Amino acid sequence: MKGPRFVTHIKRLHDVTPPLANFFGSGVLLLGEKLGPFLWQLPPSFPFHRERLKSFFVHLPRDTASAIARARKHGDRRKDRGWAPTGKNRPLRHAIEIRHAAFVTPEFIGLLRDYQIALVIADTAGKGPALEDLSADLVCVRLHGGDELYVSGYTPAALAKWANKIRIWSRGALPATSRQIGPRLGVGSRLVGRQ
């Protein structure tokens, strides 16, 4: 589930309590067990701001009970929508996709690991940072184009390389050729952060 552009592009992760309440109160929680990770895609003009990211990460709910608590603070325009799922409390996970070179710093990877936010491994045809650091118990890969952003496809050889990396990540290991800037995690390392 992609987070709203209002939060990432307009508010730029600043003063997000009301818009996050509206988002989580919009009905996304009704997806129940089919609800996957939340993707927060930052604009290319958004550089690394440690404190702003940290503040944003603190506001992200880590389970459905926390998301419901956020949703209850929604604005009046959401009163006609259903948002409260029934059933057991389930964990929620988050991933962030960056596009600015200022994020290429071990400090950013450390922050993601502290808050268990997955770094989106994005293939952007050389247009954005190409990092493959693992920062949570989730690996999120987005293939935007092998040669040309949002236009070109992938050759069978290129897809085979990505498939091999995905197989290695799914075993909890790291490909030998991973492009990482943070401390390299050993095989079997467990990423544990704040809750």
- Looking up residue 10, the CATH number of its domain turns out to be 3.20.20.410
Domain annotation covers residue 189 = no
Number of structural domains (the chain) is 1
Which residue has better confidence, 44 or 193? Answer: 44
124/109 Cα distance (integer angstroms): 19
User: What band does 192 get if pLDDT is binned at 50, 70 and 90?
Assistant: very low
Domain annotation covers residue 194 = no
Domain annotation covers residue 33 = yes
Domain annotation covers residue 86 = yes
CB of 116 within 8 A of CB of 193? yes
User: What band does 136 get if pLDDT is binned at 50, 70 and 90?
Assistant: very high
- pLDDT averaged over the chain? 86
Domain annotation covers residue 142 = yes
**Which range marks the domain in which residue 28 is found?**
5-170
Question: For residue 25, how many other CB atoms are within 10 A of its CB?
Answer: 24
CB of 94 within 8 A of CB of 8? no
Q: Which of 180, 145, 150 is nearest to 162 (CA)?
A: 145
109/135 Cα distance (integer angstroms): 7
- Residue 185 has a pLDDT of 64
Helices (H), 83-155: 106-115
User: In this model, does residue 92 exceed pLDDT 50?
Assistant: yes
Domain annotation covers residue 177 = no
Does this model's pTM top 0.75? My answer is: yes
Domain annotation covers residue 66 = yes
Measured in residues, the chain has a length of 195
Sheet holding 38-41, edge to edge: 38-41, 94-97, 117-123, 140-143
Domain annotation covers residue 25 = yes
User: In this model, does residue 62 exceed pLDDT 50?
Assistant: yes
User: In this model, does residue 194 exceed pLDDT 50?
Assistant: no
User: What band does 195 get if pLDDT is binned at 50, 70 and 90?
Assistant: very low
Mean pLDDT for 89-96 is: 96
User: In this model, does residue 187 exceed pLDDT 50?
Assistant: no
**Angle, in degrees to the nearest 10, between helices 50-59 and 106-115:** 10
- Residue 77 has a pLDDT of 56
